[in-house]
């Protein structure tokens, strides 16, 4: 009887669950998420720590911190250590505000086992994609199926050429379920071929919808500057985004500026599989510097937190569409000049710009481009005192000062 294997993911649909940020080292420096997901052993010095992201909540036995970094509780770690000692590392890590012991699970087994024929659809990186380091590996694998005969004795492994996927054996799955592990979500990757005519048609339609949306957005981004294809940020899966794909793009602008934009809030809704512009908006945050390490910089961290609020709350989205809107997000890990005494950072959304369009067109409809302006603590205090009138006055002063939507750390407050 053929063995069964399952893809292990974080169950993002658990209500009130905690949100964890990217691991940091003993000096507080953010580590590369991909370091823990590449299917290779990791060498780290000193004690690692994981800050809380958007907020605390229900503690889980399995969580994907940052962008897909597997974190397990001590009791879940004991199962992995007992059943798959040759397949992984368990790196002790502290989680902010929690005394319990946790471990980053680093899978060190890489197995070439994806079954192209039985999977719903596979696409490879090609030379014309201008990503030579990726050529020959998988660009996308839909409805993955693996060949169990190629797995050998591995109990936990990542798939060669598509290393972001973490696979566990049925024995591991059952042990975690018996334990009552919270946070796990399993999807079988063995069994009959999934590319039935109906499933194949659904996959084809999904791909066409998303590719049309991607192309239209990238066409719009290229009118704003040079689209940086050297920066590769892995797709994060998010149930709150319309297409469940959390995507970003980096645009290099004049005068050394860097523009970060969300690239997925206007995806078609994946459940409906019909043309739409999703939430009908994308967010844009511009800084006055040529940010080199985007994945570790404060601009992406801030934009990520704002995007989460927009994606998760309909009231926020509707307010953003009709005018100026201010909000506060967690200031953990953000520059001190932006953080209030309460540990928050404020932003003003929808400040008009003379260099960015308010909308752009796609085959599925118009998409609103909403600017995100980081506020200084004194500007937040002004907003709290003056309400909607304060928003309008701040926006007017930003335009008057020549700052407009630009976010800068070193500037004088306008109030």
pLDDT tens readout for residues 170-181? 999 999 999 999
Residues 6+ apart with CB under 8 A from 210: 243, 245, 267, 268
Band (pLDDT 50/70/90 cuts) for residue 204 is confident
Burial class (CB in 10 A: 0-12, 13-18, 19+), 138: buried
Q: Where are the beta strands (DSSP E) in 288-391?
A: 325-330, 344-349, 359-362, 365-374
Alpha carbon of 314 to those of 156, 268, 321: distances in Å?
Answer: 39, 16, 11
CA 22 to chain centre: 11
Residues 6+ apart with CB under 8 A from 113: 146, 147, 148, 150, 151, 159, 160
Angle at the Cα of 375 (from 295 to 236), degrees rounded to 5? 25
Signed CA dihedral, 253, 258, 263, 265: sign only? negative
Q: What is the mean pLDDT of residues 237-251?
A: 85
Helix (H, G, I), strand (E, B) or coil at 301: helix
Residues 6+ apart with CB under 8 A from 61: 72, 73, 75, 76, 176, 179, 181, 182, 183, 184
Taking 90 as the threshold, does the pLDDT of residue 414 lie above it?
yes
Task: Please state, for a pLDDT cut of 90, what percent of the chain lies above it.
Answer: 66
Burial class (CB in 10 A: 0-12, 13-18, 19+), 18: buried
Q: Is 280 left (phi over 0), alpha (psi -120 to 50) or beta?
A: left
Cα–Cα distance measured from residue 334 to residue 219, given in angstroms and rounded to the nearest whole number: 31
Q: To which H or E segment does residue 400 belong? A: helix 377-401
Taking 70 as the threshold, does the pLDDT of residue 238 lie above it?
no
Q: Which of 118-127, 158-167, 277-286, 336-345 has the lowest mean pLDDT?
A: 118-127
What's the pTM? 0.67
Q: Which one of 153-157, 209-213, 407-411 scores highest in mean pLDDT? A: 153-157
Cα–Cα distance measured from residue 157 to residue 52, given in angstroms and rounded to the nearest whole number: 27
Angle between helices 314-322 and 298-312 (to 10 degrees): 110
Cα–Cα distance measured from residue 137 to residue 131, given in angstroms and rounded to the nearest whole number: 11
* Beta bridge partners of residue 346, listed in sequence order: 328
Q: What is the mean pLDDT of residues 184-203?
A: 83
Predicted pLDDT of residue 251: 94
Q: What is the mean pLDDT of residues 313-338?
A: 92
Contact between 103 and 70 under an 8 Å Cβ cutoff? The reply is: no
Over residues 27-59, the pLDDT tens digits come to: 888 888 889 999 999 998 889 999 987 668 899
Contact between 373 and 379 under an 8 Å Cβ cutoff? The reply is: no
* Beta bridge partners of residue 50, listed in sequence order: 95
Taking 60 as the threshold, does the pLDDT of residue 345 lie above it?
yes
Contact between 264 and 236 under an 8 Å Cβ cutoff? The reply is: no
Cα–Cα distance measured from residue 179 to residue 181, given in angstroms and rounded to the nearest whole number: 6
Over residues 269-307, the pLDDT tens digits come to: 988 889 999 999 999 999 987 766 676 689 998 999 999
CA 406 to chain centre: 23
């Amino acid at each position: 009887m053929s063995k069964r294997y399952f893809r292990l993911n974080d169950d993002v649909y658990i209500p009130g669950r905690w949100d964890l940020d990217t691991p940091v080292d003993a000096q507080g420096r953010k580590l590369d998420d991909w370091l823990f997901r590449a299917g290779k052993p990791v060498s780290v010095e000193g004690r690692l720590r994981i800050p809380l992201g958007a907020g605390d909540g229900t503690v889980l036995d399995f969580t994907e911190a940052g962008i897909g970094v597997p974190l397990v509780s001590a009791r879940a770690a004991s199962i992995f250590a007992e059943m798959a000692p040759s397949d992984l590392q368990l790196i002790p890590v502290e989680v902010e505000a929690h005394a319990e012991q946790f471990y980053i699970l680093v899978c060190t087994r890489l197995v070439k086992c994806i079954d192209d024929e039985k999977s719903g659809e596979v696409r490879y990186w090609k030379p014309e994609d201008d990503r030579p380091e990726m050529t020959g590996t998988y660009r996308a694998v839909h409805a993955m199926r693996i060949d169990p005969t190629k797995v050998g004795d591995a109990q936990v492994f990542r798939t060669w050429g598509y290393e972001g996927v973490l696979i566990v054996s049925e024995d591991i799955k059952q042990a975690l379920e018996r334990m009552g592990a919270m946070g796990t979500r399993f999807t079988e990757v063995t069994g009959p071929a999934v590319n039935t005519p109906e499933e194949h048609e659904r996959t084809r339609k999904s791909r066409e919808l998303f590719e049309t949306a991607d192309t239209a957005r990238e066409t719009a981004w290229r009118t704003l500057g040079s689209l940086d294809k050297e920066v590769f940020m892995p797709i994060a899966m998010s149930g709150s985004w319309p297409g469940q794909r959390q995507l970003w793009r980096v645009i290099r602008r004049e005068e050394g500026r860097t523009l970060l934009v969300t690239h997925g809030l206007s995806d078609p809704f994946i459940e409906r599989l019909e043309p739409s512009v999703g939430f009908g908006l994308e967010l844009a945050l511009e800084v006055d510097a040529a940010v080199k390490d985007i994945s570790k910089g404060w601009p992406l961290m801030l934009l990520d937190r704002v995007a989460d609020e927009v994606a998760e709350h309909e009231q926020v989205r509707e307010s953003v569409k009709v005018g100026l809107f201010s909000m506060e997000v967690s200031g953990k890990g953000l520059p001190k000049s932006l953080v209030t005494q309460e540990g928050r950072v404020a932003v003003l959304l929808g400040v008009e710009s003379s260099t960015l369009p308010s909308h752009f067109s796609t085959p599925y409809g118009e998409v609103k481009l909403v600017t995100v302006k980081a506020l200084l603590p004194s500007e937040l205090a002004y907003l709290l005192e003056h309400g909607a009138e304060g928003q309008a006055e701040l926006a007017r002063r930003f335009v008057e000062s020549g700052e407009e939507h630009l976010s800068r750390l070193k500037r004088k407050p306008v109030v």
